[in-house]
Every structure is written in structure tokens, then in C-alpha cells.
Structure 1
Amino acid sequence: MAGGGVAGHGASAGETKLPPLTPGPYRRRLGFVALVATFGGLLFGYDTSVINGAGGFMARPDQLDLSPLGLGVAASALVYAAVIGAFTGGRISDAWGRKRTIAVLAVMFIIGVAVVSIAPSLAVVVVGRVVLGLAVGAAAVVVPVFLAELAPYEIRGSLAGRNEMMIVTGQLVAIIMNAIIGNVWGDQYPWVWRIMFALAAIPAILLLLGVSRMPESPRWLADKGRDDEALEILESMRPPGRAKPELDDIIHTREIEKQRVSEDIGKIFHNKNLVRIILVGCGIGFFQQTTGINSILYYGSDVLEEAGFGTGGALIANIAPAAISVITALIALQMMDRVSRRKTFLVGYALVAFSHVLIGTADVVLPDGGAAKPYVLLILIVFFVGSMQLFLNIATWVTLSEIFPQKIRAFGMGLAVAVLWMTNGFLTLFFPTIIAAIGISGSFFAFAALNVIAFFFFLKNVPETKGHTLEELEEHVTDGSIFHSIGRK
């Protein structure tokens, strides 16, 4: 529906504009709901990055005595479980609702943290990390979809993007806490890795307490025919006069969609446009991981030690990439409602490929053992992480939450995020082996080549989504017209 207009009584899409998004108290309510929901993102970031620092203590002979492969198994158990969580979480949220699913995920986060924190062996750590991974993967799908479905389209980018902001905040908190705990108490108390993991219980409990005050997604309610409930929520989350026209738009699109797309997965693959958008989503997820961002966020301490820092120095230096993630993510949030998604992606992949070439070249040119090498590599890694977070991370999650029609939104995003997590899992399991085999330079030259490929993938295949309602995007994806604009925006 062009322009997001109310298309009722035979009106064509776009004949009527939604009332403007004026200031009002509803913005505070939206902000509160986004804060609570994105505790799931905070847990995502903390639970995936806490291994970056905690792993060294877990591997000690007087603790779990993990081999390099054992450490890789402990780290990747969460990631591989997240594949299942991502693929199933969306379908579960379609059946149960977004709010109830988030509440269940909060409980899973608490259970997973408890199991890992008291684990006497690698096997028990893996069990706890699997529970956490299921929750992380599902949260990666459900929270962005929930925020996108709740947000007015004019501020959807910045509101849905808050989840990625909380992810990188969680990563920073994990790395800072690891550095403090490891440097202050690590020598005396090698079991401090248990405290590092246990701290994740705090945001999990806050999420569980806060979810009771969250509304359900009005689009999910409307999709289930619960229009009165959807209208009540929209009225509390929109300026006066906006809720009813927006609900009419949602209902109109729902009625059209009933005639075109069945929820049966087999029917989806009979529509070449839906197949194409699913493949685009999977490509977005795959290339987000081949930037190598999580190899740094999970094994940054190891990379920095390889570059020449000592163990304690690497833990402290590791704060710099995590801090720049948060700073650039804040800037990216401001960009999301102002800048073309396509241009953001293209600039981002170009910068990331360039930064990888610089890192690989510096590792080759600068002599091992030299005083300058670790600091030059740290600066270049910070430049890489900043470029990634500024242009790619938030744009990835926002775009994935936007591009799929309502009937396949949870399935499509679940599949795309599952691909993302499978790629993440492969790199998480084998990155220590890869960097040991071909070094920093070989690893980052390989990442550079993959990011050049990503640039051309986005140039040729990814449509613009900024400035359109979800209903408008739904219609244009289903009829294929959204793909005609690729290259013109």
C-alpha cells in the first residue's frame, strides 16, 4: 500500500495518508516497552560474549581443564542451539503471541545461567549453553519482530534498532566485567568464570518482571482476528486519531493476504517473489556473520594476544572494540530513520572489506615482537568494529524485521536468523583453529574477499525498505514490485 494509506471501500493503496505522527505521551510508553523487550537483546549480547575472557579461566587445569577444542565446543554450543531457537522461535511466537514467548525466553535465560554457573564439567556447561542458545536464537527473531510490529513506520528503524543497541551493550558489559573480575580476582580465585556467567541472571530477572507490563503486538492480534484488542493497544501507542486508520490499513492488508498466501510453508514456495525475499533474508544473515564481527567479539582476547598483548593487557584492550560498538550503535540508531538502508549496507561492506585488508597488511608488514604492532592492530580492529556497527549491524536486524510479509514474517526471519547463527556457529567453532593455521593476516584477507562478494550481493539483490509501512512492504514484496526499484535508490 503505497504511502501506508487506509485502503478501504475500494480505495486503491496510497489514496489516503495516515495521520501524522505528532509528539505525545505515547512515545514514553513506546520507549518503556522497547526498553523491557530489549533486555532480551542485552542477554543475547552478554551470553554470547561472556565466553570472551571467561573461557581462559574455564580452561585452567584446576577448573574444567578444557582443551582448545573443548573451549570451542563450550563457545559454539550456544551458537548452534541458537540456530534451532531462531528457526522455531518465530513459529512459536506466531502461535503463542510475541509477549508470551518473550516471557518463556526470560525463564529459559534464568535456567541456562544457573546451570552454567554451577557446572562441574564441560558436559553440564554445554547443557546450560544449549538452553541459553535456544533462548538467544529465539530472542533474536521475536524481539525485533515485536518492536517492528509495534512501532509507527516513521520511527520503526530507530525503535527496532534498539535491540541491536542492547546487544552491543550486553557485549560491552560482559567484556568490562570480565576485565575487572579477571584482573582483580582471577589470580586468587580461578573459579571467577562462574561469577562472570552468573551476572547474566540480573537482566533475565528484570525481563521476566517487566514482561507483564508489555502489550501484545497489535499486528499479531489483528492477524488472529482480535481487532478490538489490537485497537486498544494502538490507541495507547499512537497520537490521537492515528490508531483506527492504522488498524484499518492492517485489516485491509490481512484480508488481501488471506486470498494470496496460506500459512502452509509449501504454499510459500509457489510464489517466486516470496522465495526471492526469503533468499535475500538468508543472504543478509549470512553476510552479516562473514564480516567476522563475532570472531572478534568471542575471541578478541585471543586475537589481541596473538597480536602481542599479554593476557591481562588483552582483557583490558578488548574493551576498546566493545566500547566503539556501543558508541557507533548509538549513532547508527539516529541514522536509521534518515538514511537509505541500501546505501548504509553498501558503504558498510566497502569499509569493512577495506579494514580487513588493512589488518591483514599490518600483520604482514609489522615485525612480530615490535612495540607498535599490537597497538596498530588494536586501532585497526577498532576501526573495523566501528564500521561494522555503524553501518551494518543495526541495519541488518531492522531490515530483517521489515522485509517479510505478515504471514511469513516469523518463518522468514527465523530462517534468515538460523542461517546467520549457522554461519556464526561455524566461525565460532573453527576460528581459533583457522587463526592458528593461517594467522591474523590470512584470516582477515579471507574476510575481506567475502565482504567484497557481500557488497555486490547487496547491490544487486537487497531492496530499499526505509519510509514504507509494513503493509506497503508486504504488498510490494508479494507482487514483486519491490525488486523493480533495486539499483534506483
Structure 2
Amino acid sequence: MPTTDQAIPAPPPSQPTKSGSTSESRFVRLITVIATMGALAFGYDTGVISGALPFMTLPQEQGGLSLTPLTEGLVASSLVFGAAFGSFFSGHFSESRGRRDSLKLVAIIFFLGAIGTALAPNVEIMVLMRFVLGLAVGGASAIVPVFIAEMAPPGRRARLVSQSELMIVSGQCIAYISNAVLAHLSDEAEVWRVMLALAAVPAALLWLGLLFIPGSPRWLAARGRIDEARAVLQRIRSSDAQVEKELDEITGEREQEAHQARWRDIAAERWIRIVLAIGIGLGFMIQFTGINAFMYFTPIILQSTGLGTNAAITATIGNGVVAVIATLVGIWLIGRHGRRPMLLTGLGAVIVAQLALGAVLLYVPVSPLQSYAALACILFFLFFMQMLIAPVYWLLMSELFPLHVRGLVTGLAVSIQWVFNSIVSFLFPMMLTELGYITFFILAGINVVSLAFVLLCVPETRGKSLEKIEAFLKDRHSLDEA
């Protein structure tokens, strides 16, 4: 029998398999914390570059890498290009080898990429190692939400999957704080190397934690390993009746689907292609809000208003703090409100923030007032983005796609989302140089299109089990085809 995603055996019959719902809840929370170490590493690696870039633009003889606007865009976007490949191939790997074992490989790549970027001697090696690091970021972004969703009880799925987004923004906040502390404590320009090396810590914690948790019961059941799936469910559910009910839902009508997913399974079913298109559209929506342009380049935006390098890096801590607070509020909201209303409200606020930021940068003279007003617009943007849009996106990526191709389709959709991210990251510094602050008005216009897309195309998934969501989408789009 294969050992991938091997289940931890159930307790022997002589001992109770349940110690009450509290112990199962704690174990599920522990699984979530361990799995989201991948999201923490993801967040740190995407956030740390904002503080490292100003030092990396210094000449090489001063400890930097002599970055230009073009190579700045390459360094920032190379991780994102890597993430596109990582999320794409992780989908296939997580289908064939299991979610947990795939995350172990992701942890190793995270560690190697962090050390490689910290030691990079020139731009070429930096771009290469950022690409390697991106493979892990993409893998984590595709696998972690799916793994948590497949472990979580239906009634707690939204909040537990949203823990992934909380850990992403927590990783970014930690990156901003450590960047500011290191920038103020060290006079060495090469302090950026320490900033980048710290990303190895959550990678190591992820790998160690995965040694102590079981594999996904849905993945096991989809491979015909029913006894192992039952053993896992007995550890993460509060009653034997709940275990059997959920196992029946997972295995119902799936005998014919207990094979390794193939791309032809997607091509053969029109409704899956439609749902994949919705997932890709959601990826366009989240990236063309401009979220990562703010995450990567806030210090550079603030420097254009007259702030010094250290002051701009310190001000970026506000990004991280606001993002964490907003995500906590979003986790509370997501259990009480539908996915669609949250997305629509968030996009409306994002459009207002971008229009306001463009106006402040264009019409307010360079001064402390402009700096504070620009920072206020950025923080307003981030608050609504992280509260209402980002958590819902990652939740929908774990909910929308059918079990028998979930790894492949999630990997493809998230991969294309990273391609959109890379386009924004690569073009933003050059757009800011060539078009100036009109860039923010262009982003606002794109977000009007995204708002219309959500209104017309995105389904509501709140309150349904993964199996019921699949049945609903299949029926809906089969009827559309008929």
C-alpha cells in the first residue's frame, strides 16, 4: 500500500476514540496552525522584499546590487513567476502524492530558497533564487487552503481556511517589523541579506510540524483507502456518527472517480471548465486590485512624497498591522456573511481608495501632509482588501472545485493568479516611472470591471459542504449547457 499521506492509525478499540468535541477541535486547530506555517513563510517572503529593495538598489561597492527600475521589477516579479510554476505543478503533485507530503517538499524548497537569496552575489543569482523561492510560495498557496478545507468540519471550514490568510498577513507584518528593526540597528547596507535569511525559520517549522499530523481523509478516500480515511476522521471529528456520515458523503458516487486525476477529466466536462474560468477570473480580480504593488513598493511610493528610506520602511509596518487587524475582522465576518456581498463591498472600497490615492499624489504638494495622506489611503485600501477580498478569494479556491480534480484545478487556477501577480509586480515600477500617478486611476478602472464580474459570475457557497457545493455547481452548469 502506498505510504503517501499515510494516515495515523486510530486508537485501539480498548481505548475510547473520542474524548469529546473539545479534543477534536484542538487537534484540527493544531493541524491548521502547522499547515499555515507554509502561509506564514509565503507572507514573509512576499513582504520582506519591500524593505530589502531600497538597500538592494545601492551600488554593489556599497553592499547593494545596483538595481534599476527594470531589475527592481525583475527581482520582485521573479518570485511571482516562480509561484505560477509552483502552484501549477503542485496541483499535480498533491494529487499523486498527497497534500501533506507535497507540503513537506514545499518546506524544503522554502528553506533552500531563503538561504539562496540571502547569499546571492549578483542580480542574476538573486533573480534565480527568488524564482526558486517562488516555487515554494506557489505550492503553499495552492495546497494549504485545500488541505485545511479537506480536514475542517463544514461548519468551521470558512474560519479555519481563513487562518491561512491570517498567517499570510502575519508573515508580511513580521517581515515589515523585522525590516524596520534591522534597518535601524544596522549601519551595513547588506542588512538586506539578514532580512531575507530569516525566511528559513517558518520553513523549518513547517517541515517539522508535518511529521506529527495525518494526511487528508478526502484524498485517501478518493484513492480507495477508506480505512485510512476513517482513521483520520476519527481523530478530527467529535462522534462516530459524524465520521460515518461524512465518509458516506465523501465516498458517495465516487467509485468511478477513485483514480488519479488527469487533464482529460477537466477537458471532458464543460461544467468544470466553467468553474475553472470563474476561479481564473477571481485570480485576475485579486491581483489587479494592485494589492502586491502596495505590498512590494509602499516604501518607494512613500519615498516619492519626501520620506527618507528608514522612515518609509518604518511606515510600512502600518501595512502589516492593518492587514492583520483587517484579516481578524474578516475571519469573524466570513462566518456571518456571504462570499459575494463581502467581495462586492470590498471592491467598492478599493476603487474609492485608489482614486483617492491618485488624487493625493497628483494634486497635493510634496510635503509631510502628502506623505500622511498617501499612507492613509494605502492603509484604507489594505484594510478593506484584507478584510473582505483576500480571505474570500482563498476560501473560494478551496471550495469551488470538484474533489476528483481538485488538486489539478486549484493548482492551475492559483498558478494563473500568480501570473497576474507577476504582470502587476513587473509592470508597476515602470508604469509609475512612465505614467506617474495616473497608474492608480488605471487600477481603479480595472477594479470596476472586476466588480461587474463578481456580480454576474461568482456563486454563493456559504453554508454548503464541499460535496454539496460540487453537486450545486454541476447541476447549475449542466442546466446552462442543456
TM-score norm. by structure 1 comes to 0.91
Q: Could you tell me how far apart the structure 1 residues matched to 2:108 and 2:353 are?
A: 40
Distance 1:36 1:483, change over 3 A: farther
- Pick which of 126-135 and 384-393 moved more: 126-135
SS at the partner of 1:263?
Answer: coil
Equivalent residue letter for 1:293: I
Residue of structure 2 aligned with 1:299, choices 286, 297, 300: 297
Equivalent residue letter for 2:109: M
Matched, 1:251 2:247: no
- 2:198 aligns with 199
Distance 1:264 1:206, change over 3 A: closer
- 2:475 aligns with 479
Query: How far apart are 1:253 and its partner, in Å?
Result: 4.0
C-alpha distance after superposition, 1:210-253 (max 9, x if no partner): 11011100000000111111111111101113111110110004
- 2:124 aligns with 123
Equivalent residue letter for 1:244: E
Q: How does 1:14-163 map to 2 (within 5 A)?
A: 23-61=21-59, 62=61, 63=63, 64-163=65-164
Query: How far apart are 1:410 and its partner, in Å?
Result: 1.4
- Matched pairs, number: 457
C-alpha distance after superposition, 1:153-182 (max 9, x if no partner): 111011011111100111111111111111
Q: Supply the RMSD in Å over aligned alpha carbons.
A: 1.6
- 2:242 aligns with 242
Matched, 1:313 2:311: yes
Q: Could you tell me how far apart the structure 2 residues matched to 1:24 and 1:256 are?
A: 36
Q: Could you tell me how far apart the structure 1 residues matched to 2:213 and 2:132 are?
A: 24
Distance 1:316 1:229, change over 3 A: same
C-alpha distance after superposition, 1:304-350 (max 9, x if no partner): 11233221211111111221000000111112221100111111111
Q: Could you tell me how far apart the structure 2 residues matched to 1:81 and 1:370 are?
A: 39
Q: Could you tell me how far apart the structure 2 residues matched to 1:477 and 1:91 are?
A: 23
Equivalent residue letter for 1:343: P
- 2:444 aligns with 448
Query: How far apart are 1:256 and its partner, in Å?
Result: 6.7
Residue of structure 2 aligned with 1:465, choices 440, 461, 465: 461
SS at the partner of 1:307?
Answer: coil
Matched, 1:326 2:315: no
Matched, 1:418 2:415: yes
Equivalent residue letter for 1:302: I
Q: Could you tell me how far apart the structure 2 residues matched to 1:262 and 1:34 are?
A: 26
Unaligned stretches of 5+ residues in structure 2:
1-19
SS at the partner of 2:289?
Answer: coil
Q: Could you tell me how far apart the structure 2 residues matched to 1:267 and 1:230 are?
A: 24
Instruction: Note if contact 1:463-1:483 (Cα within 8 Å) is conserved in structure 2.
Output: no
Q: How does 1:263-278 map to 2 (within 5 A)?
A: 263-278=261-276
Q: Could you tell me how far apart the structure 2 residues matched to 1:333 and 1:23 are?
A: 22
Unaligned stretches of 5+ residues in structure 1:
1-21, 485-489
Residue of structure 2 aligned with 1:435, choices 416, 432, 435: 432
Q: Could you tell me how far apart the structure 1 residues matched to 2:264 and 2:248 are?
A: 29
Query: How far apart are 1:262 and its partner, in Å?
Result: 8.6
- 1:7 aligns with none
Equivalent residue letter for 2:245: P
C-alpha distance after superposition, 1:68-110 (max 9, x if no partner): 2222212211110111001110110100001111111111111
TM-score norm. by structure 2 comes to 0.92
Query: How far apart are 1:23 and its partner, in Å?
Result: 4.1
Q: Could you tell me how far apart the structure 1 residues matched to 2:470 and 2:267 are?
A: 16
Equivalent residue letter for 2:143: V
Distance 1:445 1:189, change over 3 A: same
SS at the partner of 2:304?
Answer: helix
Matched, 1:343 2:344: no
Instruction: Note if contact 1:402-1:465 (Cα within 8 Å) is conserved in structure 2.
Output: yes
Q: How does 1:375-390 map to 2 (within 5 A)?
A: 375-390=372-387
Distance 1:180 1:253, change over 3 A: farther
- 1:221 aligns with 220
Q: Could you tell me how far apart the structure 1 residues matched to 2:254 and 2:321 are?
A: 43
Q: Could you tell me how far apart the structure 2 residues matched to 1:120 and 1:47 are?
A: 19
Q: Could you tell me how far apart the structure 2 residues matched to 1:149 and 1:304 are?
A: 42
Q: Could you tell me how far apart the structure 2 residues matched to 1:178 and 1:253 are?
A: 52
Q: Could you tell me how far apart the structure 1 residues matched to 2:380 and 2:479 are?
A: 33
Distance 1:156 1:459, change over 3 A: same
C-alpha distance after superposition, 1:360-405 (max 9, x if no partner): 12223312x2331110111111000101001000000001110000
Instruction: Note if contact 2:271-2:477 (Cα within 8 Å) is conserved in structure 1.
Output: no
Instruction: Note if contact 2:274-2:477 (Cα within 8 Å) is conserved in structure 1.
Output: no
Query: How far apart are 1:482 and its partner, in Å?
Result: 9.5
Q: Could you tell me how far apart the structure 1 residues matched to 2:43 and 2:445 are?
A: 27
Instruction: Note if contact 1:304-1:318 (Cα within 8 Å) is conserved in structure 2.
Output: no
Equivalent residue letter for 2:384: S
- 2:6 aligns with none
